[in-house]
Amino acid sequence: MPTDTPAPSDLKRGREVVLTLEAFADRGKSLARVGEGDGGFVVFVAGAVPGDRVRARVFKRKRGFAEARLLEVLEASDLRTTPRCEYAATCGGCKWQHVEYPAQLAMKGEQAVSALTRARLDLGAADVRPPLGAEDRDGSGGLFFYRNKMEFSFSAMRWLTDWEIATGEAMDTEFALGLHVPGRFDKVLDLKACYLQSEWSARLVNGVRAFAKEHGWTPKHPREHTGYLRILAVRQSAHTEDRMVNLVTSHHDEGRMAAFADFLRAEFPEATTLVNTINSGVAQTAFGEAVHTVFGSGLIRDSIGPHTFEIASNAFFQTNTVAAEKLYAVAREFANLQPDDVVYDLYCGAGTISLFVADAVKKVVGVELVEEAVANARASAEANGVENCTFVAGDMLELFKPDLIEEHGRPDVLIVDPPRAGMHPKVVGQIAHLRPERIVYVSCNPQTQARDLAMLQEAAAYTIEAVQPVDMFPHTHHVESVVGLRLT
């Protein structure tokens, strides 16, 4: 057994060490400090929890830190819990299933706030709220089955778990349908169970795998870029009976799709629509160059608050419908909406925030890149009888310019909800130039949110009035953060 008090010089690649973890770190890892002085030498361990004493093997050594792979938990932290899912220790879907939920939540709150303080943003006047937790929907105390959308990957390179190897059974390693192993774009776990979406979707994964194998359909080879099957995307509405199956393939094959449609109708009749997205490119995404609706409407409908939305296969929709309502309620509160306000909902997706705030203001202008999402937003506004929302399709970088403001009016309030990468610096510059009285920044990435807000503060003085972290994704280290600002 290696020593309990390793020195920084022990942290060589391939060396086994015993570490006591003391804090959570980025990307769901935990950290230990080795040696004296200046905070010690930091070692990151994925799968470990603060308070654990573990045996681990160093696999990366850099000038300022090392990374070690968890081999054995020698003494378990009080923050540990038993994961529900047998794949939890290996799967990229839930990196924190082994962490007690209150500890997950506390860490998410800390991460959202520390990103802001590390960017030197002044929170002195801010109402910094404790993180809002997710709801326990299945009564098991485990906060599962909260996602309305899952994308399961096909791969010709299957990753075997330790316990799959230990069975000694011969396994087909050239076909996998499931989720990626963390850090591996190529290797996919062949999931027989998953507790993130629904029992139905897990059953669908098993049914589709069996069907595909029986028919000799090949999965994508991630290195050779061959194979027919790429992604099985499943959208299941939280509030209606709608269920969309989106089979992403490398090319269109009408005969195969007809057979697949017959299979679904027979074995999974709850599927209300089947679409076939064609992605012949190299990137493993559910976006493609064409979408064929095989049966049904090609849409699902789901509700947030009083409104029901149409959602196309490639339109963004918050993946946790129940938590989305809480998130939007926070955004609405932080916007302090007034009846005469002109609100811009930037990066508006299918117009969900726009409709959620529309009744409190004079008008809302939504801007969104994906045309289908804008079409969904317009259709949903009409179907819900909301008449004061206008949606504009295009790239924020191109559109968010004086012409747009001249056409639709100066914003009193901006609600921005960009993708993980945050906003383009020119967009931040344009916001600073416009100087709206109130800004609400909703983000799924506190790092880029903090970066953008620091950039904004350099150009225009805003006071951060309130911060609300919201947990939309239990058992992952991801957190949503809402920040409310007012022109100083």
Ligand X SMILES: C[S@@+](CC[C@H](N)C(=O)[O-])C[C@H]1O[C@@H](n2cnc3c(N)ncnc32)[C@H](O)[C@@H]1O
The smaller minimum CB distance to ligand X, of residues 83 and 366, is found at: 366
Q: Is 134 exposed, middle or buried (0-12, 13-18, 19+ CB in 10 A)?
A: buried
Pick from 471, 469, 433, 462: which is nearest to 121 by CA? Answer: 462
- Name which of residues 423 to 452 contact ligand X (CB under 6 A): 444
Binding part of the chain for ligand X, among 22-30, 221-229, 347-355, 456-464 by CB under 6 A, reads 347-355
Query: For 213, what's the count of Cα atoms within 13 Å in the CB-facing half-sphere?
Result: 16
Contact between 302 and ligand X (CB under 6 A)?
A: no
Pick from 273, 242, 209, 234: which is nearest to 145 by CA? Answer: 234
- Helices 199-214 and 254-267, packing angle to 10 deg: 140
Contact between 473 and ligand X (CB under 6 A)?
A: no
The smaller minimum CB distance to ligand X, of residues 42 and 353, is found at: 353
Residue of 85, 194, 348, 444 marked catalytic: 444
Min dist. Cβ of residue 427 to ligand X (A): 8
Are 395 and 367 spatial neighbours (Cβ–Cβ below 8 Å)?
Answer: no
H or E element in which residue 453 lies: helix 446-459
Min dist. Cβ of residue 113 to ligand X (A): 20
The residue to which tokens 């897990």 are assigned? 202
Min dist. Cβ of residue 404 to ligand X (A): 12
CA distance 64 to 84: 36
The smaller minimum CB distance to ligand X, of residues 87 and 391, is found at: 391
Binder among 164, 242, 341, 368 for ligand X (CB under 6 A): 368
Contact between 349 and ligand X (CB under 6 A)?
A: yes
Binder among 119, 181, 193, 370 for ligand X (CB under 6 A): 370
Contact between 382 and ligand X (CB under 6 A)?
A: no
Binding part of the chain for ligand X, among 80-88, 237-245, 417-425, 459-467 by CB under 6 A, reads 417-425
Radius of gyration of the chain (CA): 24
- H helices of 88-159, in order, are 101-118
Contact between 356 and ligand X (CB under 6 A)?
A: no
Helix (H/G/I), strand (E/B), else coil: 136:
coil
The smaller minimum CB distance to ligand X, of residues 70 and 472, is found at: 472
Pick from 300, 272, 318, 353: which is nearest to 444 by CA? Answer: 318
The residue to which tokens 């801007």 are assigned? 367
Q: Is 444 a catalytic site residue?
A: yes
The smaller minimum CB distance to ligand X, of residues 155 and 352, is found at: 352
In the complex, the residues that contact ligand X under the rule CB under 6 A are 316-318, 347-349, 352-353, 367-370, 373, 395-397, 417-419, 444
Provide the annotated active-site residues.
444
